[in-house]
Amino acid sequence: MLKAAEECSPERGGYKETKIGLLPTGWDVVSLEEITEPSAPIRYGVVQIGPVTPGGVPIVPIKHIRRIGDVVLHRASPKIEGQYMGSRVQGGDVLLSVKGTIGEVGVVPDGFKGNIAREIARIRPKPCCDAQFLSLQIQAPQTQRRIDNLVVGSTRLEFSIHAVRDFMVALPPLPEQRKIAEILRTWDEALEKLTNLRAAKARRFEGLRDKLIAAASRTGHPALFGDFLTESREPGTDGATARKISVRLYGKGAVEKVDVRGGSANTRYYRRSAGQLIWSKLDFLNGAFALLGPELDGCESTLDLPAFDCSDAVNPIWLIEYLTRPAYYTRQIHLARGQRKARRVSPEDWLASPVRRPDRTTQDKIAGALSTGRTELALLDAEIGALTRQKRGLMQKLLTGEWRVKLEAPVA
């Protein structure tokens, strides 16, 4: 794939300054309306799709805009959908999300017939414009930045239909469009394979984790969390110099990121150390647990993000894997909440809740096996991230004409 990128070497011919930047002289700058079939003008979709109707018309929402042919879509009644005949879609249409989550792009697969939700605009390209190329041009980082500048609204963001129609894009000759799309498709295929591999490994990892931890818990010793965890309240630095830790989630029991940011001059902070377990009082019911790594040693937090030191009786890796199992939320959290059904749980409540703790040797074996699985997933994440960055960089070069593709000479 890198070879494909290297073949797109710069050919410094003529360039011209345009409304959207420097482009090759052979390229056009056109509005989306100019390259849209007149018989199918750019427009929104169905406003209220109504209840699911068996045998009805499939409606594409934003969340499935890239996976139209791979998912089960909501089907609206023909009576409701019939009021929006002008926004029906077919194979080769380019779809652009214009409300809420703005800038998502998809291409309708061949053979599909249906309609779109109100949050999506349909663009049916003329023969002079390749649909795959147009979708890539809209997805390109430099194009997305221009779209962001045209978004309006405060509580509900929108890229208005008039702005969509007037939006300008760079359009090379059709053979060059197709070649660019072909090269970038190589990166998409590689990313899809890696993403599918990662998903398969994640499923196997979760199955192994649940099996190991559940089996060990059945034979574990009855205990309380407070038997092996102690809340840490070591004073930190008062003031805005504090490097404050915050936890962000992307799903139940899964920490997306531990952020570090500046503190407040009027807030008291407590020192945090590598290896400590932290959880968010505000997000406890959603499973906001994390282990602090070496890079976070010396950071601080308020008591809304308490930290706990682990005794030698517990392996921190085993503990965090135990805490983030889905089964934990159906039992342990209810035990910690008690009869009060409180929205918040205090550290005292949690430390007093029961747990079945396997012996340290068993914990270490489980932690070793699961650490290996986590490492494999992390390596795949790094590979996916690197390939994604390569693709973004290549898009920047190809879709602005900074790198020109070499077209095959026509056969005589």
Range(s) within the chain of domains with CATH label 1.10.287: 1-27+173-203+363-406
The length of the chain in residues reads 412
State the pLDDT at residue 302.
82
Q: How far apart are CA 354 and CA 313, in angstroms?
A: 16
Q: Are 229 and 311 in contact (CB under 8 A)?
A: yes
Range(s) within the chain of domains with CATH label 3.90.220.20: 30-171, 221-357
Tokens of 412: 């005589």
State the pLDDT at residue 284.
61
**3 state DSSP class of 372:** helix
Q: How far apart are CA 104 and CA 38, in angstroms?
A: 24
157 CA to centre of own chain: 19
Verdict on whether the full-model pTM lies above 0.85 = no
Environment class of residue 224 by beta-carbon count within 10 Å: exposed (0-12), middle (13-18) or buried (19+)? middle
Cβ partners under 8 Å of residue 176, min gap 6: 404, 405, 407
State the pLDDT at residue 221.
92
State the pLDDT at residue 247.
64
Q: How far apart are CA 36 and CA 224, in angstroms?
A: 66
Q: In terms of DSSP bridges, do strands 89-90 and 94-97 run parallel, antiparallel, or are they unpaired?
A: unpaired
DSSP conformation class of 344: S
Tokens of 124: 């049916």
Half-sphere exposure of 169 (CA within 13 A, CB side): 28
- DSSP character string of 18-59: ETTEEEETT-EEEETTTTB-TTS--B--BS---S--TT-EEE
Render each residue's pLDDT in the chain as its tens digit; 412 residues. 434 444 333 444 589 999 999 999 999 999 999 999 999 999 999 999 999 999 999 999 999 999 998 899 999 999 999 999 999 999 999 999 999 889 999 999 999 999 999 999 999 999 999 999 999 999 999 999 999 999 998 778 899 999 999 999 999 999 999 999 999 999 999 999 999 999 999 999 999 999 999 999 899 999 999 999 999 999 887 677 778 877 665 444 445 556 677 777 778 888 989 889 888 776 666 557 788 888 888 888 888 788 999 999 999 999 988 887 766 655 666 666 665 555 667 788 888 888 899 999 999 999 999 999 999 999 999 999 999 999 999 999 999 999 999 887 654 5
User: Sign (positive/negative) of CA torsion 41, 46, 52, 54?
Assistant: negative
- DSSP character string of 84-98: GGGG-EETT-EEEE-
- What angle (nearest 5°) sits at the alpha carbon of residue 115, between those of residues 170 and 84? 105
Q: 1-27+173-203+363-406 has which CATH code?
A: 1.10.287
Locus of tokens 């150390």: 273
Locus of tokens 């410094």: 12
Q: 221-357 has which CATH code?
A: 3.90.220.20
Q: How far apart are CA 277 and CA 232, in angstroms?
A: 10
State the pLDDT at residue 45.
95
Render pLDDT for 252-298 as a digit per residue (tens, 0 to 9). Answer: 444 555 667 777 777 888 898 988 988 877 666 655 778 888 888 88
Domain 30-171 has CATH 3.40.50.11740: no
One-letter amino acid of 4: A
Q: How far apart are CA 93 and CA 237, in angstroms?
A: 57
- Strand partners for 171: 28
